[in-house]
Amino acid sequence: MVTLEFLALGAMAIFASPLVGFMLFFCGMHGARHIVRTVNRTKGAALGAVLNAAIVPMLIVASVVALLLITTREQSLEIRVIRLIFVGLASLTVPHMLLVEPLRFRDWQIHDQ
């Protein structure tokens, strides 16, 4: 599996622009890894709590994206996409940390006991 990931990263580095390659890696590979890890670690949690932790940030990010696209119609698509990517990354960082870090901290506490 690791070999396949490195081959995919190499192909993205060769054939995609740096921004597109980073986006594919971050949203596809990194994001998928976090989703799988989070699902495995939250098996004992209530489904509603897990969905709320995932859906609320996604709705906020979708709202920011829609607002950004609406308010920047006069700019070129390339500039809009670059802004969208960086606003999206910035707006996902806090929800990401709020969801992932408590789980990581809990795992540290379990291993220390």
Domain ranges for the chain: 1-41, 45-113
Helix axes 77-112, 47-71, angle to 10 degrees: 160
In this predicted structure, what is the pLDDT of residue 108?
Answer: 66
DSSP structure class, residue 76: -
Task: Find the mean pLDDT for residues 17-30.
Answer: 81
Evaluate if residue 113 carries a pLDDT over 60.
no
- Rounded CA-CA distance 35/54 in Å is 10
Q: DSSP for 17-44?
A: -HHHHHHIIIIIIIHHHHHHHHHHHTTT
- Rounded CA-CA distance 105/99 in Å is 11
Which tokens sit at 83?
A: 């802004």
**Helices in 1-113 by DSSP H: which ranges?**
2-15, 18-23, 31-41, 47-71, 77-112
Q: Are 12 and 24 in contact (CB under 8 A)?
A: yes
Evaluate if residue 109 carries a pLDDT over 70.
no
Task: Find the mean pLDDT for residues 32-37.
Answer: 76
| 40-97 residue pLDDT tens | 777 766 777 777 777 887 788 788 778 877 887 887 878 877 777 777 777 777 777 7
